[in-house]
Structure 1
Amino acid sequence: MWIPYVSQVCTADIGGPKNKLQFSWTSQMNARLFCGNANTKQDFTELVDVATVHGDQQEAKIYALFRNEWDMSAVCVYSLRDIRDIFMTSAFKDQATDDRQRELDKKRKQCVRDSSMQHIDVLNSIESRSAEMMDWVQPASGSGPILFKHHNYTHIYVDASHPRANGHHVVMFLSLSDGRIHEVVQTEAHSFIIAEYHPFRNQPHITSISLDTSSKKL
């Protein structure tokens, strides 16, 4: 079974000292990604590809492409703000049982200038206890998955620069395993396939997608 996670590591993390976690991240924290419908028990756990729509640091969106065992694909949208909030506010999965452990957990979440100089108690806590957060990252604004039945998508590219009367709509380009590409429009109410492209005569496996934003050429 696939289990999708998002991880956070401090940019200055160089590992622990020579005798403790020298070749390991000391700041890594992991949070489970949820994509599915809790009411119907339908979920998507195989993370296939991701695309980022850049706004400011708080409003950036992550479009994650998933698959499940029933030959269905889905896209779930997460906000960078929500992901950061999970790492800041959630307890670790191995819950602290006393005030000392809770204090060590707070220190584990802090980025330090020199990770190799951390107190031995902090390093022992990092080594012995799970880095997984208790809370899961949910899709942004309570949105559900964008479902695609019987399509084996392999890559995703997202263009959020399309204007409309009341804001912007999002266009997703999703490649299939046989070399075709679907263009999908996402509005607040619906998502639908508006075009199918056959860029190659044969059926190659597409490894990446990019879009020239000025000419709108894929």
Structure 2
Amino acid sequence: MSITNILKTGILLAVLLAMTATSATAEEKLFTVINHTDAIIRVWGKSNDFKFGRIKPKTIADCTCNSLYNKDCFDKKGGKAKIKLALEDKNGKDLYSGDTCTKLYVDPGTFIDVTPDTDGRHIKCAIIDKYEIRQPIPSFEKADTNKDGKIDEQEAEAIQLKANFKDYDHDLNNELNPKEFDRAINKINIFRGVPF
């Protein structure tokens, strides 16, 4: 076999491999889990042992699944996936799911909000709209973009503190000092996505 033929064969194989990779990427789908608990959440396909992953406490994580490689992923009627979420005990062995977390049928792009259940031992899962998710509020140092030691209304707007700004501004100087900032953070409802 000549060098020219070897090169042609190599190029052909590279093109075929690239086409396969592109096809696999096109089939990749994901859903997002927002973990509002102080523990690790495990996520896996309900009908087999395929695990999508372990979500750290108070984080937003994408669970990717590729239907070319895993038939349990988005293969239900209507393109849904059957999944289960559970709270991992600190010893890593015991799992605690609530009723709303054991048989979830999710579409690609779904956002699942996970919070502690009222019994303090299990979890609650709810499918929410993307617009309900808020990004984590940064520290005072990061929020203070102009580094003047206070948060003005413009800086507050960038970190979702514009609403009710006057309620947080106790000395009424249209700025938040570090103490006022901390009080504002503590008043925000953690189960709406802030702060992480």
TM-score (norm: length of structure 2): 0.27
Rg larger for: 2
TM-score (norm: length of structure 1): 0.25
Instruction: Pick 1 or 2: higher relative contact order, CA cutoff 8 A, min separation 6.
Output: 1
